[in-house]
Amino acid sequence: MHPKERILATLDRRPVDRLPIDLWHTPEVSAMLRQHCGVADDFAMWKALGLDKIVWDFMDYKTEVGARAGAQSGAGAESGGDRTMWGVPLKGVQAGLAHYAEFGAAPLLGYDTPESLAAYPWWPKVERFDYVGATALAKQASRDFAVIGPWVSFFEIYCQMRGLEQAMFDIAESPELVDAILDRVEALQSEMMRRFFAQARSYLDLVFISDDIGGQSGLLISPAAWARHLQPRMKRWCDLIHSHGLKVFYHTDGAARPLLKPILDCGVDVLNPIQHACPGMDMAELKKEFGHRVIFHGGVDNQSVLPRGTADEVRRETRDCLATLGAGKEGFICCSCHNTQPGTPLENILAMIETVQKM
């Protein structure tokens, strides 16, 4: 089967010759893999490795002149320039072999009432998204691969704008402020999606909702607060995405088990990344409880086994994911649990890919 055909068949629960293998990676790992394959770009590298790549098509945000110069892309810390599209400052951090853009001071601190939000100078403008560029990328990628985009979020954006600690206080003490901010976050991205789908729908397959609500050992938000602030918004987004014939790809790291059922009830089609090292995220249990209603994406441990294990340990980990999340040879797209990090041995990455391809 062709990579795109294999992904689409998996999403539709049609028979496949083998389960798909995707890969998330940082720019440093991408450069290593291009060098290994002897190619100049990521598209050629994905083909050379035989990946069933789901290509990310995240929306750029056009820079304004003057006071707002430097505001760029909307995909969180992967934004270009010195601020995200929401006005969150970015600062470069070198961590070993990796370079990251980390969030600076929360710019929405001090805007502590719903009425004060109108004075915030960094609210994005829907017309400044680069619909033309994103549509061109989707068209190019869709010739060979499934395409996912744009990237949208509720809770992650809220925490970036208010700061994680203040966001926790807001949820407990200022629910009206939380709703007022999320109303703006939802409205802007909903209109952006409508405009993007009008141009690019025929080239897209999935939409990426990234909204981390789980930490390493438990939830970051209570089920009651999630139901109050996020559940109805998630349902509206799932309905909007489905109305355009697209699938909903939902990402939350961590120990998210207590909220998985209500998240799926909103209409999520693909759940990522299944961080099974966290409490409650046992792969066999998740497959038994939810495998009939959602496609799993991810699985291969990216905190320990992939970066620090041997190639044989990676093969065992990958086979375990295939046997549990992919039981019955359906409902699973194997992938690293998150971006493969710099310093991850090349032989480990190849071991994961080849193990899936040989199954």
SS (H, E, C) 172-192: HHCHHHHHHHHHHHHHHHHHH
**What is the separation of C-alpha 87 from the centre of its chain, rounded to a whole number of angstroms?**
20
CA-based nearest residue to 131, from 202, 206, 201, 200: 200
196 by Cβ neighbours in 10 Å (0-12 / 13-18 / 19+) ranks as buried
| pLDDT higher than threshold 80 for residue 266 | yes
25: β partners: 340
Which pLDDT score, from 0 to 100, does residue 154 have? Answer: 97
Report pLDDT digits (tens) over 156-206. 999 999 999 999 999 999 999 999 999 999 999 999 999 999 999 999 999
Q: Are 332 and 298 spatial neighbours (Cβ–Cβ below 8 Å)? A: no
How far lies 186's CA from each of 46, 153, 226, in Å?
34, 8, 15
**Pairwise pLDDT comparison (335 vs 73), residue with the higher score:** 335
Nearest residue to 182 via CA among 172, 170, 173: 170
The pLDDT score that the predictor gives to residue 76 is: 52
Residues 6+ apart with CB under 8 A from 219: 213, 226, 255, 256, 258, 259
In the predicted model, is pLDDT for residue 77 greater than 60? no
pLDDT higher than threshold 80 for residue 65: no
Q: What is the per-residue pLDDT for 75?
A: 54
**Cβ–Cβ < 8 Å for 44, 37:** yes
> Is residue 275's pLDDT more than 80?
yes
For residue range 339-358, what is the model confidence (pLDDT) as tens digits? 999 999 999 999 999 999 99
159 contacts: CB under 8 Å, gap ≥ 6? 167
Judged against a pLDDT cut of 80, whether residue 35 lies above it is answered with yes
User: How far is residue 132's CA from residue 72's CA, in Å, rounded to a whole number?
Assistant: 15
- Residue 221 DSSP one-character state: S
Instruction: Indicate the CATH number for domain 3-59+111-357.
Output: 3.20.20.210
Alpha carbons 148 and 196: distance in angstroms, whole number: 12
Give the mean pLDDT of the chain: 94
* Token pair 């038994």: residue: 288
Check residue 89 and report its DSSP letter. B
CB 167 within 8 A of CB 159: yes
What percentage of the chain reaches a pLDDT higher than 70?
Answer: 95
Average pLDDT over residues 132-149: 97
Give me the half-sphere count of Cα atoms (radius 13 Å) on the Cβ side of residue 318: 29
Q: What is the pLDDT of residue 97?
A: 86
User: What is the reported pLDDT for 336?
Assistant: 97
Contact 84, 71 (CB under 8 A): yes
* pLDDT, tens digit (0-9, with 9 covering 90-100), for 303-314: 999 999 999 999
For residue 267, the number of C-alpha atoms closer than 13 Å in the C-beta half-sphere is: 20
The pair of structure tokens assigned to 337 is 């649990």
Give the closest residue to 323 by CA, choosing from 300, 293, 353: 300
Whole-angstrom CA distances from 216 to 21, 83, 231 are 25, 27, 22
Residue 316, φ and ψ in degrees, nearest 5: -65, -45
Phi and psi torsions of 90, nearest 5°: -120, 145
Please count the residues of the chain: 359
Digit-coded pLDDT (tens) for 194-216: 999 999 999 999 999 999 999 99
CB 74 within 8 A of CB 123: no
What pLDDT does residue 272 have? 98
